[in-house]
Structure 1
């Protein structure tokens, strides 16, 4: 390896380490008792022990930083496994795996996820970030509902939309968080969510 390539590799590694330190500092601030209400780029820089401009250089804006944190949560929460759910030949097995993956994802960093979604309710720009991520779940639930409807011979556009909307709401963080309550893991409620989903599907997509 040439000296120049080695230096570039070292610089890239240092940059990535700094980036992760800033993301981890953001997570720590959101989990702190007062960090949520006082969240700012300045506090993130202080927590990560870097200059404020380093944070801006890495992420561009507060929204960019929070989006990077969302990406980090998705990676640690195993969201890349969603593709395997859609490869399931049986639509009900696909639905059950889809719910299991989301239960693990929502549970990975429950407090941080709760506060990120609360921030989205207060910040219109960041709300767009969360909305785009939720739209991916909308597409996923629509695919699953269409597969189940095809198997059942139920194809009314209105009922498909109702069923897809119901499943989307059921798979939200808020639903898992509420069903789990303060004492249960969000992963513990996955079987219950699946049973509720089946009940809704039976009601909205009766076999023909």
Structure 2
């Protein structure tokens, strides 16, 4: 390896370390009892022990930082498994897997997720990032429900849009969090969410069999 390539590799490694330190500082700040409500680029820089301009240089804006934090949470929460869901040939089994993956994801950083979503109600930049990811979840629900509906002609009492809204709500963090309560993990309620999802689908397609 040439000296120039070696130095470039060192700089890239140092940059990545700084980036991860800032992301971890953001997570720590959201977990702190009195820190999350004052979340700002300045507070993150202080927590990470870097200059405020370093945070801006790495992420460009608070939205960029929040995007990176959410990506990090998705990676640590196992969301890469989602790719297997849409390769599943049986759509009800795919839906069950989809729900189970979200149960594990929501549970992986429950406090951080709760506070991110609470701040989305107060801060437009948080809201923008969370809304985008929620729409990804809604799109996934619609794709799976469309596959379930395909080939079934018997109409029920609900429309596909109404059922998408119900499933989207059930599979959201707030749905899992409420059903789990203080005693159970969010992962533990995935089967209950799936049963509720089947009940909602039955109103759209009466008599549809559960996944085996």
Q: TM-score range by the shorter chain?
A: over 0.9
186-195 vs 78-87, which deviates more? Answer: 78-87
Counterparts in 2 of 1:154 and 1:94: CA distance versus 1, 3 Å: farther
Gaps of 5+ in 2: none
Gaps of 5+ in 1: none
Residue by residue over 1:85-106, the C-alpha shift from the partner in whole angstroms, topping out at 9 and shown as x without a partner, is 1111111110100000000111
What CA distance in whole angstroms lies between the structure 2 residues aligned with 1:164 and 1:79?
21
Count of matched residue positions in the alignment of Structure 1 and Structure 2? 207
Counterpart position of 1:163? 163
What CA distance in whole angstroms lies between the structure 1 residues aligned with 2:104 and 2:41?
29
Which secondary structure state, in structure 2, belongs to the residue aligned with residue 33 of structure 1?
coil
Counterpart position of 1:113? 113
Counterpart position of 2:181? 181
Counterparts in 2 of 1:89 and 1:155: CA distance versus 1, 3 Å: farther
CA contact (8 A) 2:63 2:125 kept: yes
Which secondary structure state, in structure 2, belongs to the residue aligned with residue 122 of structure 1?
coil
Question: C-alpha displacement at 1:36, in angstroms?
Answer: 1.1
What CA distance in whole angstroms lies between the structure 2 residues aligned with 1:107 and 1:154?
37
RMSD between superposed Cα atoms in Å: 1.5
What CA distance in whole angstroms lies between the structure 2 residues aligned with 1:104 and 1:204?
27
CA contact (8 A) 1:25 1:47 kept: yes
Output the TM-score relative to the length of structure 1.
0.95
Aligned residue runs from structure 1 range 35-74, under 5 A: 35-74=35-74
Question: C-alpha displacement at 1:49, in angstroms?
Answer: 1.1
Aligned residue runs from structure 1 range 1-208, under 5 A: 1-154=1-154, 159-206=159-206
Residue by residue over 1:36-95, the C-alpha shift from the partner in whole angstroms, topping out at 9 and shown as x without a partner, is 122121221111111111111111122211111001001111111111011111111101
What CA distance in whole angstroms lies between the structure 1 residues aligned with 2:94 and 2:154?
18
Question: C-alpha displacement at 1:126, in angstroms?
Answer: 2.5
CA contact (8 A) 2:79 2:105 kept: yes
What CA distance in whole angstroms lies between the structure 1 residues aligned with 2:7 and 2:186?
45
What CA distance in whole angstroms lies between the structure 2 residues aligned with 1:25 and 1:59?
14
Q: Which has the higher helix share?
A: 1
